Structure 1
């Protein structure tokens, strides 16, 4: 039977398919063993996980087998074993096996970082090969690993030849009729998976790890490539648009705000704070956006690691927000939330999308108050489209560019971090001390002009490979995330110590907040505690230190600051002033590229693609989510926010020109 399906002419293709399925099984088994405490390990669930995984493995390998199967079908018998046939076969087989070996190695490293199969992050990383390749080279022994892959490839080729597989493929009498069955089978399987099977069909379990294990990495990669952006209206629950806008406007209504065009599908409004007793303040503002800093690493949040002495000390001298959550799991999602003050929309961040320039950002509010706006990044801001986004929204760029210019229609200036300003650099850019020294230098220059400045500073040191200058802290460089966090904290302390010697210090407010947590992985599609981040406002005149325990979102930080500064301004921001929040206003938006959540009163409503809705009660003691019957009122509120955010983006409702 097996020989009828795969006659001798298809012997090599059969072996090729078996190699992939075997490697996929080994990888799935290893990941299962590695994360056994986190998965649902009941026997029936494990069996189902591996059966679904096997089906996706077969579907995946069918795409790779398809070109050679067609080749085998159409090549005439007289060319079997010819030089042409041998060259094509040896090259195709070698490249195919090499792709499999490399992809499985890449999956292990990707899983180690993100605890999931390939997704849109892996797709994005293909674009930024310089940073990614350099990061991998600094994080892993690349020569050893590549050498190992090549050795395994040679062993596979030798074993294949020793088993006479090539000989059987080239020396046989297989006729066209015999080749129809295997070719048709492979074509049929590839067609079924291409047109009828989605990557999400592997997600048959409540436990996220089982869902990821049931997938195949390469298939997940190409699925992410096809769906880097998701249509909200097509894949998610919606309500009538006017109702959605009415709900959102009701939540954004405040005694000191007035919608500019209340009958239109917009949220532009004027906000007033200043009066004779509370005049507007215009201090300099330096915002430090810390890479990948989970709240759980700070002693202020209960950690006993003792690696953040500076931030822990500042938490007692600041407005310290103890119950604030990031909207997403990547830097660009954090940047989107902070600058646009908007709930996350499905797919990739707006920072990386089209129509991402000329938007109403917090930078425009600073512009209304006469501020110069600057974006500092220790690497090349070409990465993740940051320069185009910030430059296209009125920020000057200060980065470690390697020659890429801003788009010609971007009118802001770009300043390079020069070689003589760099003491340490890795794949992601200069160390935090170097970027802070550049901030100090630019602040000194801005102070001479007497123009207030808003500096958005994006750090990089707390990122794999976790390398930093030696001798600064007591944890060796490149050994752990804890070391990178301690160095990040050390650099902030040094920066503030130097800033205090500057003439502009007393008139400068420091806002410190993480872009996202170190990891979002867990049993659930949205693990609430993996979104909790530290946030604080420091050195604001006449504002006493205070711990703010209100449930709030990353999008609320700058509306809160604007309220503290008593600014009157035009707003297109979804964020609220945390200090003025009533209990019923407290909420947090959390999401990833497919799941959109609203957290409120220990209840989490999650909208997923395919019009799936899940409602949970969050048990904070063990960070568990308990399924509940859907609350219609909270569901409508959740849909309203995400539907309006998506509508505004796609209908130019985020554009700056529409507010003028």
Structure 2
């Protein structure tokens, strides 16, 4: 060890070792901070602590090795005269300071990301790179940015001052090319071995997801997410007999006699009742976890209006979100389709002309629109909905006098609701029923909203965001009651996803629990429904209530039907689950299948029996979705009308 230390000390490559040690110290400090902030929920054991720091340090070293490859080329081939020159010396000082400042800024970004998602960098961080304006404004509005960056600058300056004497010494060394080649070759070899043999398996050893995340390296995970932002289902996930799984899927969705081609679930849905064409306003509420509602144990009384509404409408208490992002919720609600690995279809190319809820309404003569309180280019929302037959209305379509408040994510919920009412009045005047899907933004960090609306000051936290969301919904219903179309309108209120999705388990079921309310006093009786169900069931349930006949390619079922099969699909970017019969079956990359018994009270997974009924049901849903999407079985040939322009001024 002494010989190695002496060799490194007397080598140009000692610079890499020096910065590697500093980076690992910063990374370890961050790991400690994140662990402390998550201590109560992570329930980490002594063995878990060892795993966090041992595996975490290992990934830190691997990341340092990768970063060192680029600098190794420079240190290997830089001529001795230039290496010892003043120009190189001061260039090195400047670059060293910037490197330190960058490391501290990335560490701060990791803390922000953990504070929001309770995970290290992942697919979401990649997505955020595309929307720097919204993300930067959100950070600026949520945190004291200037003092923080000044503090990071001072920390970088102090660290540089401590390293400067060692840097000066390293810049004076004389080293033969053969010695430099030995160090460079060692780094290249280690990098190659890391690339070939180090993957994600080590960070998945624990059943406690907090331990796995804390034992990771953020920048390493960022690069891994960038490389693997799509996963081919057939390559990475368990496969079953196509004939058997196709039969099961058709049976699950109610297609009789196993007719048609493999996984062809197209069918004619005939309603059991006929009704007049009722209007529909479907509201996807940002991050409305069930736990925020008094009905599910919330003690702060921040949802007084919704609590009243639940007693007057069709209220689903055992309802679950499909995913962890807005786009996944929109995908499930609109397409009634299981999630597939990686990004939601909303964000993928070639995502137009898919059979969807809006198409059913459009085929029945409805005015169909998607209204978003933010900018529709975010998460590709406008492109997705316009490509699937919807008109789109977003923040950019609102006139200045229509906007009373806006933040990084969009206008206040009240503003987009007022626009929806105005759009509805135009459709009503034209004698046309309407289906409007509204996506809200106010219940999102920085939780800012118009002052004077509720008794919680704007920008003070999640409780205020939820209470303003509740207030704005009250204004929507109250204003709608004054409109001529109100008595013939159905309101659907559902969350896009939960506010916090991380947990100890791979797929913490309780973090997917959301409310669903279908409200139309003149047409739908008040009732509480306790059946286990999820977002893909909204479309068929709503259409059954309205008595609409349609060609269905939906995976969901009518929750109110006597033949409804209780289950809920939940997922993250890589793990695909079905919660059914008090078991959570999970499919994961490298063809893994696990089961968690009683997942609301237990986190321990066991290997799945591939012949088990729940497992086969899970495989049928997800393998079927992949098969259908790849072969474009759920596409229609033509978009009858594609109008994305503004109608109301």
Structure 1 length normalisation: TM-score? 0.93
> Distance in 1 between the 2:504 and 2:469 partners?
29
Query: Structure 2 matches for 1:277-292, cutoff 5 A?
Result: 278-292=273-287
CA displacement at 1:8 relative to structure 2: 3.7
Contact 2:277 2:433 (C-alpha < 8 Å) held by counterparts:
yes
2:635 corresponding residue in structure 1: 655
CA displacement at 1:7 relative to structure 2: 2.6
2:40 corresponding residue in structure 1: 37
Contact 2:509 2:599 (C-alpha < 8 Å) held by counterparts:
no
CA distance 1:540–1:364, shift in 2 (3 Å)? farther
1:607 corresponding residue in structure 2: 587
Task: Render the CA deviation track for 1:546-575: whole Å, top value 9, x for unaligned.
Answer: 001111111111211111111111111111
> Distance in 2 between the 1:199 and 1:505 partners?
53
1:272 corresponding residue in structure 2: 270
1:501 corresponding residue in structure 2: 482
RMSD over equivalenced CA pairs, Å: 1.8
Contact 2:9 2:170 (C-alpha < 8 Å) held by counterparts:
no
CA displacement at 1:363 relative to structure 2: 0.8
> Which stretch of structure 1 is more off in the superposition, 644-653 or 526-535?
644-653
2:593 equivalent to 1:595: no
1:76 corresponding residue in structure 2: 79
Query: Structure 2 matches for 1:144-293, cutoff 5 A?
Result: 144-161=147-164, 164-253=165-254, 262-273=260-271, 278-293=273-288
> Distance in 2 between the 1:526 and 1:18 partners?
35
> Distance in 2 between the 1:400 and 1:607 partners?
39
CA displacement at 1:368 relative to structure 2: 1.6
> Distance in 1 between the 2:106 and 2:188 partners?
23
Contact 1:11 1:168 (C-alpha < 8 Å) held by counterparts:
no
CA displacement at 1:629 relative to structure 2: 5.8
3-state SS of 1:578 partner = coil
3-state SS of 2:339 partner = coil
Pick from 365, 384, 390: which aligns with 2:385? 390
Contact 2:493 2:518 (C-alpha < 8 Å) held by counterparts:
yes
> Distance in 1 between the 2:44 and 2:325 partners?
30
2:643 corresponding residue in structure 1: none
CA distance 1:44–1:625, shift in 2 (3 Å)? closer
CA distance 1:626–1:21, shift in 2 (3 Å)? closer
2:413 equivalent to 1:432: yes
CA displacement at 1:446 relative to structure 2: 1.3
2:308 corresponding residue in structure 1: 313
Pick from 293, 297, 304: which aligns with 1:302? 297
> Distance in 1 between the 2:635 and 2:457 partners?
47
2:524 corresponding residue in structure 1: 543
CA displacement at 1:266 relative to structure 2: 1.8
Task: Render the CA deviation track for 1:354-377: whole Å, top value 9, x for unaligned.
Answer: 221111111111112111111111
Pick from 360, 368, 378: which aligns with 1:365? 360
3-state SS of 1:293 partner = coil
2:109 equivalent to 1:106: yes
> Distance in 1 between the 2:14 and 2:605 partners?
50
3-state SS of 1:599 partner = strand
Contact 2:508 2:599 (C-alpha < 8 Å) held by counterparts:
no
Contact 1:123 1:221 (C-alpha < 8 Å) held by counterparts:
yes
CA displacement at 1:544 relative to structure 2: 1.3
3-state SS of 1:38 partner = helix
CA displacement at 1:103 relative to structure 2: 0.8
2:60 equivalent to 1:57: yes
CA displacement at 1:294 relative to structure 2: 0.6
Task: Render the CA deviation track for 1:228-276: whole Å, top value 9, x for unaligned.
Answer: 111111111011222221110011126xx798x62344211111015xx
> Distance in 2 between the 1:509 and 1:556 partners?
17
> Distance in 2 between the 1:370 and 1:263 partners?
31
CA displacement at 1:634 relative to structure 2: 1.4
2:644 corresponding residue in structure 1: none
2:14 corresponding residue in structure 1: 11
CA displacement at 1:65 relative to structure 2: 2.0
CA displacement at 1:658 relative to structure 2: 9.4
CA distance 1:56–1:629, shift in 2 (3 Å)? closer
> Distance in 2 between the 1:508 and 1:171 partners?
79
CA distance 1:525–1:417, shift in 2 (3 Å)? same
3-state SS of 1:593 partner = coil
Contact 1:62 1:189 (C-alpha < 8 Å) held by counterparts:
yes
Task: Render the CA deviation track for 1:19-66: whole Å, top value 9, x for unaligned.
Answer: 111101111122222222333533333223211111100111122222
Contact 1:604 1:617 (C-alpha < 8 Å) held by counterparts:
yes
**Structure 2 unmatched runs, 5+:** 641-649
Task: Render the CA deviation track for 1:159-211: whole Å, top value 9, x for unaligned.
Answer: 222xx223222212121122233322322222222232113432211110110
Contact 1:618 1:626 (C-alpha < 8 Å) held by counterparts:
no
Contact 2:51 2:211 (C-alpha < 8 Å) held by counterparts:
no
Query: Structure 2 matches for 1:438-453, cutoff 5 A?
Result: 438-453=419-434
Contact 1:370 1:452 (C-alpha < 8 Å) held by counterparts:
yes
3-state SS of 1:533 partner = strand
1:115 corresponding residue in structure 2: 118
2:321 equivalent to 1:343: no
Contact 1:286 1:509 (C-alpha < 8 Å) held by counterparts:
yes
3-state SS of 1:509 partner = strand
Contact 2:287 2:498 (C-alpha < 8 Å) held by counterparts:
yes
Q: What is the total number of aligned residue pairs between the two structures?
A: 635
